[in-house]
Amino acid sequence: MSVYRRGDVWCYKFRFAGQVIRESSKSDSKTVAKDAERIRRRALEESWNQIKRRKLPPLFSIAAADWLKTRTNIAPSTERSYKLAISQLSTDFGKQLLCDLSAGDLAAYQTRRKRDGVSNRTVNLEMGVLRSILRRNKMWESISGDVDFLKENPSPGRALSADEESRLLGAASKSRCRSLYPVVLLALNTGMRVSEIRGLTWAQVDFLGTALTVGKSKTQAGTGRAIPLNPRAIAMLKQWRGLFTGAQPEHYVFPHEKYGLAGNDRKPCAYEIIPTEQTHRWRVAWESARKAAGVACRFHDLRHTFISRLAESQASDSTVMALAGHVSRAMMERYSHIRMEAKRHAVDNLSGTDFEPGVAQNWAQFYVSDKSEEANLLKISGEPGRTRTSNPLLKRQLLYH
């Protein structure tokens, strides 16, 4: 065991398992070289004897940050949802060691979030992030059997009525967020998801062909699909495009903006517009408009409204799939039901007003009960001018008479 100097750098040399280890400490300090030699020998001894050092489990906040760094191939929207979930979980568990988390702590967290009015689906998403963090640190299996996820609403969504749509658009048009109205209108007339609308650029909008091409979508079937624009949608997009005189094809249709009140009359205005950055969120503006309109729905229900109306118009399944991208099996079954209801309504309209009660009563009187004398007489003698019998021999005699 020795250290020696080579030029201005100190090196160390020792023998381990019959092999000479000669390495540089990369330092001009003899003390550092001695410490490096000791640490290197210790590491070799632990590796040779398969000794594993036990590490203290990290705090949840540190473990969550490390876990998030491993999520590399995810969409920006997914990353935002992960960060939001971690921020909520850190409120309860941020300063706790992972090894101290128990099934009771997780149940208490679920209860608190439900008490705050959070949906079961959101709570389950947060619990899924927590489960993934614990699994990465080998601490989920010990409590997994005592942790229950909440039951989620299996309903795939609902379609808005014409009155609800009118009230919602009216409230959106009065929002301080000037992009909310065109966003809601576009969702109702194209069935695009909120992430698809946020990522929409002007290069994807074809004003001459009155169509747009969806960019990156939630599913492979949805990415790159073409959606024709009806007159309502194309008129709105043209008016919205007029507000951005210097817009380039790569600019976002709904760029990041900040809103405030300007002048003595305190009129709402947009400022700090960044066309190369997509808008962050519409959640606050959407919730305010939805409550003002008195409509209980999610933003995703605008997509359900679009697809439901396609089904009512007797569009085929292939057409629905092409326009909507991916449609779950539960939704397709629901749209089949909607399509049948539309057919039934169309058939019912054919009855018109010709079916009068008096005519129906006269028609019903034509039929006579089998127990009546008229019915028995008809069975024996048949109609006037005809002979009715069930005897084949009698029929044969009549034929050869």
Residue-wise pLDDT for 100-127, tens only, equals 899 999 999 999 999 998 989 899 999 9
Q: Where in the chain is the domain with CATH 1.10.443.10?
A: 162-347
Give the per-residue pLDDT at 336. 66
For residue 264, CA distances in Å to 92, 174, 258, 260, 268 come to: 45, 20, 19, 13, 11
Spatial CB neighbours of 259, under 8 Å, sequence gap ≥ 6: 176, 177, 178, 268, 269, 270, 271
| C-alpha–C-alpha distance, residues 183 and 379, integer Å | 74
333 — pLDDT class (breaks 50, 70, 90): confident
Model confidence, pTM: 0.61
| C-alpha–C-alpha distance, residues 331 and 335, integer Å | 6
Structure tokens that stand for 338 in this block: 């909607």
Instruction: Quickly tell me which residue has 């039934």 as its tokens.
Output: 344
Q: Are 260 and 268 in contact (CB under 8 A)?
A: yes
Helix (H) or strand (E) holding 272: strand 267-278
Give the per-residue pLDDT at 77. 75
- Helix then strand then coil, in percent of the chain rounded to 5, is 50, 15, 35
Which residues, listed in sequence order, are joined to residue 259 by a DSSP beta bridge?
270
| C-alpha–C-alpha distance, residues 158 and 326, integer Å | 17
| C-alpha–C-alpha distance, residues 132 and 78, integer Å | 14
Res. 134: pLDDT tops 90? yes
Q: Which CATH class is domain 162-347?
A: mainly alpha
- Of the listed ranges 229-243, 300-314, 386-400, the one predicted with least confidence: 386-400
Q: Are 304 and 157 in contact (CB under 8 A)?
A: yes
Give the per-residue pLDDT at 99. 87
Q: Where in the chain is the domain with CATH 1.10.150?
A: 60-146
372 — pLDDT class (breaks 50, 70, 90): low
For residue 233, CA distances in Å to 83, 247, 305, 340 come to: 34, 19, 15, 28
| C-alpha–C-alpha distance, residues 366 and 163, integer Å | 48
| C-alpha–C-alpha distance, residues 191 and 321, integer Å | 11
Stretch 166-189: mean pLDDT, rounded?
93
| C-alpha–C-alpha distance, residues 366 and 344, integer Å | 30
Estimate to the nearest angstrom the gap between the alpha carbon of 195 and the chain centroid: 9
Name the more confident of 245 and 205: 205
| C-alpha–C-alpha distance, residues 310 and 338, integer Å | 10
Please provide residue 299's backbone torsions phi and psi, each rounded to the nearest 5 degrees: -65, -35
Give the per-residue pLDDT at 365. 56
Res. 367: pLDDT tops 90? no
| In CATH, 60-146 is 3.40.710 | no
Q: Are 211 and 227 in contact (CB under 8 A)?
A: yes
Which residues, listed in sequence order, are joined to residue 228 by a DSSP beta bridge?
211
